[in-house]
A and B are shown apart, each in its own frame.
Chain A
Amino acid sequence: MSVAIKANRLTPYMFLAPAGIILIFALLYPIGYMIYASFLDWSPSQRIGQAEFIGFRNYVNLWGDEAFRESFWVTIRFAAIVVTLEMVLGVGLALLLDRNIKGMAMLRTVFILPMMIAPIVVGLMWRYMYHPTVGIFNRTLKNFGFEGIPWLSDSTWSFIAIVIADVWQWTPFIFILALAAMQSLPRSALEAAEIDGANEWQKIVMIKLPLMMPVLIVTLLLRLIDAFKVLEVILVLTNGGPGLSTEILALRIFRTAQEFQELGEAAAMSNLLLMMLMALTIGMFAYSRVQEARLARQRAAVEKDAD
């Protein structure tokens, strides 16, 4: 009898087990491995068992590493700038294109094309366009009698160049999500606002944007997480240069492991990046939790009134 009950209780877990096992091997094992590796002085010529355990020295080294701090700063600047630009442009476009005009479906499809192109290809495309002599930008500038811009050879311009490429590729992501959010807004509330005398701008600022806020915040966080991990486009465009001006963290990690052969230190960097992203994700969940909790409290209050 009690055995049967026990078996019953275990049944759901048995069904969950295969997924759980895959999760452990595919997700937790690599992360655990990485965390362990970050405490080692480990070069690719050694097996992991031969590497020397050095505790937190990798992290301490990172703290004092000028190049890492620079790269960390570049990453934060890059993420903040591109995500801000993409949010403004994406939401703006969605507000503009949220109407039923002939050909709009086609236009929307064209808008999201950049997102579908492989990042490596995007990087190559933009490298050709930024080319100092044969690239389309400088040729056009020269045709109009201006000086060419040192797109990829000047440290300020190369940062601008990667920002432009990223904004070009990822604005559509914000655009589609914002458009979807906008189209699910309650029509009648907007009509009520019209009767209340709100003009188009007031409708956007006072009704549409606040109502879209939950979706926009999630979109922002998703984009932010992605922007912190960007690699391929920048690898192809500038390879982090000139100097360290465009060396974002992912690239720094890649080079630390690949060129400097410091696997332990690369792992430590990855861990820092992971912790940062984790903080963002937890922030995202916390936000929605707080929202839900507030609603639940108010609902409970209503039910209490009803009693």
Chain B
Amino acid sequence: MADLKLTKIVKSYGDVEVLHGIDLEIESGEFVVFVGPSGCGKSTLLRTIAGLERITAGTMEIDGRVVNNIPPSERGIAMVFQTYALYPHMTVYDNMAFGMRLAKKSKQEIEDRVRNAADILQLGPYLDRLPKALSGGQRQRVAIGRAICRDPKVFLFDEPLSNLDAALRVATRIEIAKLNETMPDTTMIYVTHDQVEAMTLADRIVVLRGGYVEQVGAPMDLYHKPANLFVAQFIGSPAMNILDGSVASASSGKIAVDVESGGKATVPIAGAGAKAGDAVKLGVRPEDLRIAGKGETPIVNGTIDIVEALGEVTLLYVQVEGHEEAVLAKLPGYHQVERGTAISLTADAEQLHLFDSDGQSMARKAEAKEAA
């Protein structure tokens, strides 16, 4: 029902600029997740959309209307806070009815909408309880219910699951996903630092770092085609292994790389200006690594430091000479391997990522060049 257009959004607190000109377009009905480490500005960005923070520069449009100077209550948004933000002295019913009463809705309409929200979230038995008499999960459901009652064009979630315990977090996440399905016209923007939440909920993910947008894309795009080292390591768990290397030779269609541990890799991407001797970084996800068979060229050579068998997978922490962090391999099934034994790992060439010395993905650069 509402699309958002953010143009050159800048937010400063005094001399400190925390958002440096964010450009973003969100389509009607989309579920967009802002993700990034703490301090990246994701919550601030959400709060500027809500209108709880005024933007320092730029324009914010909701539904084609510039809302820079429009108060939160008139932006057609509803927000769910990390700390639930319920009114402690009001019953669940009154919490949900508060906004509608302020808007002078009829008693019948208030009743209908509260009952409807309570049905969706199974809050029926708790309507005359105070928030203090509810569990954390129930409180967050009330907060979501209050937002539903506002019948918003844009639904904002600010880390709504962070205060819940692990089991509840999964349950509530699924509930939010279902909610998204029942309200297909409502745009949802969701802030989290948890990339699992981001991957499972989002139509599109916006990765933020230090007040800049690093990459915007569908979850699988970010996973398979990270734009840079930061996104590569932020998306996916456990994080992508990054190995130092140098270009051995570059031809059209593939780049051969010497890897620090003495391994070799050939990455099937266009040269894009790479020449022999250039320092590069090779990225390979733990789940893409496998033990090198006979006749295969290993990418990583090292010794096994720690083995974690989890049943469905076995995690190997491989110590590589000259490489500070252990290289992690996630092998399916159970592998009986001893600590301290030498091991060689390889991966399919299509699963490799190559970054230049600035940390930008070389594949992306090549694509951009082709497009141009």
Q: Which residues of A contact B (CB under 8 A)?
A: 186, 188-189, 191-198, 202, 206-207, 210-211, 213, 295, 298-299, 301-302, 305-306
Contact = CB atoms under 8 A, between A and B. Distances in A.
B14 to A, nearest CB: 12
A78 to B, nearest CB: 32
Contacts of B83: 186, 188
A193 B78 CA distance: 11
B135 A195 contact: no
Interface of B: 50-52, 71-74, 77-79, 81-89, 98-99, 102-103, 125, 129-130, 132-135, 143, 146, 150
B16 to A, nearest CB: 16
16 contacts: A186-B88, A191-B52, A192-B79, A192-B81, A192-B146, A195-B50, A195-B51, A195-B150, A196-B146, A196-B150, A197-B103, A198-B102, A207-B87, A211-B89, A298-B129, A301-B129
8 shortest interchain CB distances as A-B pairs: A298-B133, A197-B73, A196-B99, A188-B85, A192-B85, A210-B89, A195-B72, A188-B81
The majority secondary structure among interface residues of chain A is: helix
A298 B131 CA distance: 10
Contacts of A192: 79, 81, 85-87, 143, 146
Contact of A298 (B85, B102, B132): B132
A195 B102 contact: no
Contact of B132 (A189, A197, A198, A299): A299
Nearest to B50: A195
Contacts of A207: 87
Contacts of A299: 132-133
Contacts of B81: 188, 191-192
B102 A202 contact: yes
Q: Which among B84, B103, B133 has the greatest number of chain A C-beta atoms within 10 A?
A: B133
Contacts of B150: 195-196
The majority secondary structure among interface residues of chain B is: loop
Q: Which among B85, B99, B103 has the greatest number of chain A C-beta atoms within 10 A?
A: B85
Nearest to B72: A195
A299 B71 CA distance: 37
Q: Which among A188, A189, A195 has the greatest number of chain B C-beta atoms within 10 A?
A: A195
A301 B78 contact: no
B133 A195 contact: no
Contacts of B89: 210-211, 213
A194 B133 contact: no
A195 B134 contact: no
A306 B135 contact: yes
Contacts of A196: 73, 98-99, 102, 146, 150
A195 B78 contact: yes
A302 B71 CA distance: 37
B50 A302 contact: no
Given A188-B82, A301-B129, 16 more contacts: A186-B88, A188-B83, A188-B85, A191-B81, A192-B87, A192-B143, A193-B98, A194-B72, A195-B78, A195-B79, A196-B102, A197-B99, A213-B89, A298-B130, A302-B133, A305-B125
A245 to B, nearest CB: 42
Contacts of A206: 98
A156 to B, nearest CB: 41
Contacts of A195: 50-52, 72-73, 77-79, 99, 150
Contacts of B98: 193, 196, 198, 206
Nearest to B130: A298
B133 A301 contact: yes
A194 B73 contact: yes
A263 B50 CA distance: 70
Contacts of B72: 194-195
Contacts of B78: 195
